[in-house]
A and B are shown apart, each in its own frame.
Chain A
Amino acid sequence: MRHMLTIMRKEINSYFRSPVAYFLLFVFTLIFGYFFYTVVSMFLLQSLTQAQYAQMYEQSMPPMNINEMVIRPLLLNTSVISLFLAPMITMRLFAEEKKTGTIELLMTSPVTDLQLVLGKFFAALFLYAVMLGLTMVYLSVLFRYGNPDFRPLIAGYLGQLLLGACFVSIGLMFSTFTRNQLIAGSMTFFVLLLLWIIEWSGQNSGGAWAQIASYLSLTSHIENFSKGVIDLKDTVYYLSVVVLGLFFSVRSVESVRWRA
């Protein structure tokens, strides 16, 4: 446990020592801010028309759901942005250590491969969580001026966190395969994208494949969370992806010693 924390601390420090973390956070906030602006102005425009409409016909205004119309699309956008940024978070984790030879220090220290992998995983997840946390600053504006429902928000964030854990776990795995960060990053991105869009292929063909594709897809499982529903099936799916990624990472790190 202590060793895992040592590794995690070292990785987090290293994220914030280099421009990587600041760059990622900056880009993320910028893009999210843009989405926030568009979604909210659209919502305002619509509620304005609705209000005028209601006044004109002297009816009570139909309730507009801020959760449905603002938060849900925002969270879905968030997952698209993270799809692009996650590879940049994870690509250096092992590839860099292999390239510079510092892996030799870690692997001749009394640390197990699992501690090593988990330490790095949680460090990357931490950075992802910080990124996600920044969106709450925007959303707090909605609480200030609107009256959104809390529970679906919690479910939504839980879904994002689980999705991020999948991204990070898969990215970590690819980082153990190579000493080249660029290769690790692009392979991660490619596979994440594949898992993202696989659902579309199912929609076209239909039948059994549609069901399989929809189950495998990272996207299909985020929808329930975004609606505010925490489904056991979705949670199990995400956790299995995380565990699988970590498992292969550990195996790969072990085998580095056998190959190198």
Chain B
Amino acid sequence: MIEVQGLTKRYGRTVAVEGLNFSVQKGEILGFLGPNGAGKTTTMRVITGYLPPTEGKVTVAGYDVTEHPLEVKKRVGYLPETPPLYTDMRVDEMLAFAGRIKGLANRDIKPRMELVAEKTAITDVLKKIVGHLSKGYRQRVGLAAALIHDPEVLILDEPTAGLDPRQIIEVRRLIQNLAGAHTIILSTHILPEAANTCHRVMIINQGKLVAEDTPENLTARLQGTETMKMLIEGPEAQVRETLERVDGVSRVSSLPVTAGRLEVSVEMHPGRDTRRELAHAVVSSGWGLLQLSPAGMSLEEVFLKLTTRDTANEGGDGHSEAGDESSGNDGAALAEQGSEESQS
């Protein structure tokens, strides 16, 4: 449904996206995951025809974006990062305008508006002025406007940004229900969000593809090492020395917080749970163990890990990949290809 070949986008001399290749099948949900400035928005803007590519070719539903922009635009619903709404219009006027400008026939506008309003839970604000809505409601109106003409392809730039937790779940569910009939690309900073919602996740960093895999494989690969966060009362040097000697620990770093207290993060070899040993080592040395908890991996750590995997983590790889084998070789192969590309 969507084909992107060798996409490069430069703004003057800054390279926002470089040599991106991917395709999205009909009915699939593809997630773009990446930190700020990774090039997610830029890629989406090229696909929607808002920006021309510097190099490369993008086709949507068989139409080249640069050659047949109108055909592509008819078929795409786009929710930009900041919902493009006229703040002086009422919500229903806004949706009617969005429908009309997308080429919806006049008689279809009202029923479509009622349908998408219900789907995005904005039925009770239809008569309100857009400018008076809260950020989350504006986000939902933006989503409704993107859906109004029932597009084959949906491009959603951080669709859950600014929503409350319950709405996040609702919108994720909505997106999942839309898949099948629609082809969807969404972007996010949040790893679990991509993992929960998408059929396939592409991780982008600095304009390049870092990894591409199913959420299951990705999480499996990321569980390779685990990091523990500890809060310890004790002398820094000795604490580090003692913890480093614990079996299964690969790396220890510490940071004094207040007098005598240390925040220590301990990286462990994959597949090993050494929490018991860590606690024992601290307590038996007579120091105070104030806290011991597994640390979730931040997005930055994920990139670091995925990009430096082959060099830094050679030993651990055998383990994790052996575990992956049952879940599918295809995913692993894809991932392999991804990281090679990012290095070349």
Which residues of A pack against B, CB within 8 Å? 3, 6-7, 10, 13-14, 17-18, 100-112, 257-258, 260
Contact = CB atoms under 8 A, between A and B. Distances in A.
B87 interface: yes
B102 interface: yes
Given A112-B70, A258-B52, A105 B88 contact: no
Nearest to B49: A108
28 contacts: A3-B101, A3-B103, A6-B100, A6-B101, A13-B93, A100-B84, A101-B80, A101-B82, A102-B86, A104-B50, A104-B80, A104-B84, A105-B80, A105-B84, A105-B98, A105-B101, A108-B49, A108-B76, A109-B101, A109-B102, A110-B70, A110-B74, A110-B103, A111-B101, A112-B70, A257-B50, A257-B52, A260-B51
Contacts of B103: 3, 110
A14 B86 contact: yes
Contacts of B78: 104, 108
A110 B73 contact: yes
A108 B88 contact: no
Describe B's contact surface by its main secondary structure. loop
Contact of A108 (B50, B82, B87, B100): B50
A105 B80 CA distance: 8
Contacts of B98: 105
Contacts of B59: none
Contact of B97 (A10, A17, A100, A101): A10
A14 B80 contact: no
Highest count of chain A CB atoms <10 Å: which of B73, B87, B145: B73
B297 interface: no
Nearest to B80: A104
Contacts of B76: 108
Nearest to A107: B50
Given A3-B103, A6-B97, 5 more contacts: A13-B93, A17-B89, A100-B86, A107-B50, A108-B48
Given A104-B80, A108-B78, A258-B52, A7 B87 contact: no
Interface of B: 48-52, 70-71, 73-74, 76, 78, 80, 82, 84-89, 93, 97-98, 100-103, 145
A201 B86 CA distance: 45
A34 B70 CA distance: 51
B43 to A, nearest CB: 14
A104 B157 CA distance: 13
A10 B85 CA distance: 13
Contacts of A105: 80, 84, 98, 101, 145
Q: Kindly list the 8 A-B residue pairs having the minimum CB-CB distance in the complex, ordered from nearest.
A: A105-B84, A110-B73, A102-B84, A109-B101, A108-B48, A110-B70, A110-B74, A6-B100
Nearest to A7: B101
A257 B80 contact: no
A78 to B, nearest CB: 29
Contacts of B50: 104, 107-108, 257, 260
A152 to B, nearest CB: 41
A257 B51 contact: yes
Nearest to A109: B101
Nearest to B105: A2
B73 A109 contact: yes
Nearest to A111: B101
Nearest to B73: A110
A100 B87 contact: yes
B52 A108 contact: no
Contacts of A10: 86, 97
Contacts of A101: 80, 82, 84
A3 to B, nearest CB: 7
Contacts of B48: 108
Contacts of B88: 14, 17-18
A3 B100 CA distance: 8
A97 B49 CA distance: 17
Contacts of A17: 88-89
Contacts of A108: 48-50, 73, 76, 78
A3 B70 CA distance: 12
A55 B102 CA distance: 73
Nearest to B145: A105
B259 to A, nearest CB: 50
A260 B76 CA distance: 20
A15 to B, nearest CB: 10
A106 B86 contact: no
A109 B78 CA distance: 9
A101 B50 CA distance: 12
Contacts of B97: 6, 10
Contacts of B73: 108-110
A106 B87 CA distance: 15
A112 B78 CA distance: 17
Contacts of B80: 101, 104-105
A173 to B, nearest CB: 22
A93 to B, nearest CB: 13
A39 B100 CA distance: 48
Contacts of B93: 13
A237 to B, nearest CB: 35
Nearest to B93: A13
Nearest to A119: B101
Contacts of B82: 101
Nearest to B101: A109
